Structure 1
Amino acid sequence: MLTALSVAVLALATVTPPGPVTIDLVSATGTGCQSGTTAVSISPDKQAFTVTYSDFTVQGHGQTAHKDCTLTVQVNPPAGFTYGIDETDFRGFAHLDAGARGVVTSTYHFTGLPTRHATQTFAGPVDDDWQFTDMPDAGSVVHGPCKEHKPLTITADLKLDGQSAASFMTMDSTDGEVSLRYHLSWLQC
């Protein structure tokens, strides 16, 4: 015999939504995402969305420097589905002189639910592409509510420490797009 908890757990099954999924950029604020420099798109397989920046580079100029961006996005799944973020891919390029340090920090959360934090530090000398993937521990992916689709708030920050005038860091991919990729974990309500 199934308990009420067992029935509730079985009601939430990981699946891919059968209908269309759209995403809207509700707002973008910060020095890394000036007006018109940020876009979001859902992948054709509905398994991820990408945030694309066209001006998210931080340059040291001999002092500590940083740029940031806070986005509010609304993922619109078909009725009866909700999502969480089960993996985030960060990519970029860093030119860090000896003694310089670059730090990538990101958070994301649904209003009123726990916040996920990711941080990666790179120490100079570095003159190369960088990449890291953040994955929550098994079973700790936070999914949005089933009945009320709340927006997701994403904050990204690039920071340079050190006295190098030539150091810079950017979030980008090998094809030149500046982007973050958020992998989706779908639940049927």
Structure 2
Amino acid sequence: MPAVIEPRDVPQSVRFLGVSLLGSGCPAGTADVQIDATKTLLEVTFSEYIIQTGPGTRASDWRRNCKLTINMAFDQGFQVSTFATDMSGFAQIPAGSRGLCTNTFDFTGVRGQAVYTLPLPGPREGPFKLSSSPDIVSWSPCGGISAIMNMNTQCNISPTQAQALIAVDRISGKITVLVRLNWRRC
């Protein structure tokens, strides 16, 4: 169970100075970023993050990614880290094929990154969730009032002539990445 974060351990003000998205899984206008009222949960929702193989598909259809660069401003005296992540969606992969989803997180100016992967071997049909909690936490630099978090999500399917799909969740109509933020005083 995650540690309880006391209100005094969270900045009173957290703002997004800018969010940029780049990649084949998040064409302009197809992803949304939200932060909850507790300032500890960041939700990124994608509507065009679809990977597929089979007849009529091209090599560019077999892999999608989205790199998000999130520039956050917050009260002086705090650091932020990625506490846990959840990526969910739907996969339909036949026997003999395999999919893979990977999430990578880091902060600009800080060495190291957290990398999480979820193999999706066939046969498989149904929802999936890539959950992760880092063993080694990378914190944003101390002493500033902002941090730039880089998130790169990607999924791929091994080339196959059979139809395979990693796609939007049939229920919610979106692939979602939840990022739980952890705060501490410098």
Where structure 1 has 5 or more consecutive residues not aligned to the other structure, the ranges are: 1-12
Q: Distance in 2 between matches of 1:45 and 1:155?
A: 24
Where structure 2 has 5 or more consecutive residues not aligned to the other structure, the ranges are: 1-5
Is the aligned partner of 1:153 residue 2:146? no
Residues 106-136 of structure 1, C-alpha deviation per residue, up to 9 Å, x if partnerless?
1111123211111110111111001121111
Which residue in 2 is equivalent to 1:31?
24
The percent identity for this pair of structures is 28
Q: Distance in 2 between matches of 1:29 and 1:18?
A: 29
1:98 deviation in Å? Answer: 1.1
- Letter in structure 2 aligned against 1:112: G
1:90 deviation in Å? Answer: 1.3
Q: Distance in 2 between matches of 1:170 and 1:34?
A: 15
- Letter in structure 1 aligned against 2:28: S
Structure having the higher Rg:
1
Residues 52-80 of structure 1, C-alpha deviation per residue, up to 9 Å, x if partnerless?
11100101125761011111002222222
Paired residues for 1:26-65 under 5 Å: 26-62=19-55, 65=62
The 3 A distance-change label for structure 1 pair 135 and 98 is same
TM-score w.r.t. length of structure 1: 0.83
1:173 deviation in Å? Answer: 8.2
RMSD between aligned residues? 2.2
Q: Distance in 2 between matches of 1:86 and 1:172?
A: 24
The 3 A distance-change label for structure 1 pair 43 and 85 is same
Q: Distance in 2 between matches of 1:52 and 1:92?
A: 11
SS of 2:109's equivalent in the other structure is: coil
Q: Distance in 2 between matches of 1:45 and 1:25?
A: 20
Residues 23-74 of structure 1, C-alpha deviation per residue, up to 9 Å, x if partnerless?
3543111111111111211012211101111100101125761011111002
Which residue in 1 is equivalent to 2:108?
111
